[in-house]
Amino acid sequence: MKTRLIRPELDGLPSYLPSPIPLDGNGAPQTNGSVRLALNELPFGPLPGVVDAISSAAGDAHRYPDMAALALRKALADRHGLSPDHIVTGFGSVYLLELLLKTVCAPGQEVVFSWRSYEAYPVAAVGGSLRPVRVPCTEGFGQDLRAMAEAVTPDTRVVLICNPNNPTSTAVTRAELTKFIDSVPDSVLIVLDEAYGEFVTDLDVPDGLVEYGDRRNVVVLRTMSKAWGLAGLRVGWLAATPEVAGAMRKLLAPFATSTIAEAAALVALRQEQEVRRRVDRITSERARMFPALKAFAPRTPESQANFFWLPMPDPAGFAAHCADRGVLIRDFPEAARVTVGSPAENNRFLEAVATADSLLLVG
Ligand SMILES: Cc1ncc(COP(=O)(O)O)c(C=O)c1O
């Protein structure tokens, strides 16, 4: 009998997800004019100054970047009233999450998160030889913090809270989160993944860094892929205590923030006002679309992110219907997820909604 080359725990993970964006034989996007509302990106293109910063940094492409990414860590730290020893940057916040788990957990320990939540969570847990503990969402697709607190055992090292939650778009409030953090032993690390934090308009939803940044067992994970428009450059960062951040830097992949990514991120960070304007455009489109989507898929929760979660009986059929009409969205087994794009893109999606077979959507 042949010996196994692959760890058996990986058998339970889904195979690599095919891109919702059609690619040609060479891997280039083949959208044929379709609008891309599948990956929760912003529709506006890079921020002013970013392309120039990339071009200038390209002249140094033959040199390694600054291993410590100090300029970017300083800029992020200044923006949030911290010192750089609290900050870790790397190629996407998803990588930093994996690194964090590797830094704080011993093999076999538990990582608690809501389900559904971000698909990378179980992958990061299993990849780190940890036990993923999925706590079902509430009826309204929120994270059930009470049940999550009850799921914490002496083996739990980390709880992941995605606020707002991808893919269900809901957010937990300050009151809920404070109660949760106070109720969990401070030996458990609480990760607040705020990839979509910039899109929150509900004043009851906290900014994790402002409200909990001084707690020893809270880590705030952020990304420049969404509101900051740098998805293709892979810039994620987190804020933690110097103890946790310093330990993470011991295991950080060398040169985990590229020269080009760092230069682009530094310029983007100077465009705060423009980011605000862009986010406002998305949140006002979100408000415009909500009534039509609620009428179409009545269990759609109010979104605090730049996407909607549309529960329905046949999400794959609906995604195919949209693709036929030039709109690319994501389907999950129990719902479709659509990114809020530009007004023209959203109108195209709303037209696809209006022509969807009503039989498909009952339930
Ligand atoms: C909740 C959440 N966290 C983290 C990420 C990863 O972002 P990054 O592009 O920084 O790896 C995503 C990306 O979709 C996300 O939805």
Higher model confidence: residue 25 or residue 142? 142
pLDDT at 312: 96
Span 164-171, mean pLDDT?
98
Q: Tell me, what amino acid is at 255?
A: F
Just give the CATH number of 50-269.
Answer: 3.40.640.10
Ligand 1 mutation pick, 225, 238, 307, 337, max ligand atoms within 8 A of CB: 225
Higher model confidence: residue 319 or residue 29? 319
Span 113-140, mean pLDDT?
97
Domain positions in the chain are 19-46+273-361, 50-269
pLDDT above 70 for 17: no
Question: What is the pLDDT confidence band of residue 344, given thresholds at 50, 70 and 90?
Answer: very high
pLDDT above 60 for 144: yes
pLDDT at 270: 98
**CA dist 22 to 30, 33, 83, 165, 329, Å?**
5, 11, 43, 26, 11
Q: Which CATH class is domain 19-46+273-361?
A: alpha beta
Q: Do the two domains 19-46+273-361 and 50-269 of this chain adopt the same fold? A: no
Q: Which tokens go with 238?
A: 């987190």
Higher model confidence: residue 161 or residue 10? 161
Which residue has the least CA distance to atom 8 on ligand 1? 92
pLDDT at 15: 76
pLDDT at 358: 61
Question: What is the pLDDT confidence band of residue 97, given thresholds at 50, 70 and 90?
Answer: very high
Distance 162 CA to ligand 1 centre (A): 10
For the CA of 167, the closest atom of ligand 1 is: 16
Sign of CA dihedral 67, 72, 78, 82: negative
pLDDT above 70 for 116: yes
For the CA of 223, the closest atom of ligand 1 is: 10
Span 87-115, mean pLDDT?
97
- CA–CA gap between residue 303 and residue 51 (Å, rounded): 31
For the CA of 196, the closest atom of ligand 1 is: 1
For the CA of 234, the closest atom of ligand 1 is: 9
Q: pTM here? A: 0.96
- CA–CA gap between residue 352 and residue 322 (Å, rounded): 6
Question: What is the CB-side half-sphere exposure of residue 50 using CA atoms within 13 A?
Answer: 23
pLDDT above 60 for 362: no
pLDDT above 90 for 283: yes
pLDDT at 25: 82
pLDDT above 60 for 290: yes
pLDDT above 50 for 188: yes
Q: What is the mean pLDDT of the chain?
A: 95
For the CA of 165, the closest atom of ligand 1 is: 1
Residues lining ligand 1, CB < 6 A?
Answer: 40, 92-94, 118, 162, 166, 193, 195, 223, 225, 231, 236
**CA dist 248 to 82, 174, 287, Å?**
17, 28, 39
Write the pLDDT tens digit of every residue in 19-58: 777 788 888 877 788 999 999 999 999 999 999 999 999 9
pLDDT at 34: 92
pLDDT at 31: 79
Distance 303 CA to ligand 1 centre (A): 17
Q: What is the DSSP string of 12-51?
A: GSPPPPPPSS-B-TTS-B--TT-EE-SS---SS-SPTTHH
pLDDT at 363: 46
Write the pLDDT tens digit of every residue in 208-259: 999 999 999 999 999 999 999 999 999 999 999 999 999 999 999 999 999 9
Question: What is the pLDDT confidence band of residue 2, given thresholds at 50, 70 and 90?
Answer: confident
pLDDT at 241: 98
Distance 2 CA to ligand 1 centre (A): 38
Distance 286 CA to ligand 1 centre (A): 20
Query: 351 by DSSP, 3-state: which?
Result: helix
pLDDT above 80 for 171: yes
- Given a contact cutoff of 8 angstroms between Cβ atoms, the answer to whether 118 and 143 are in contact is no
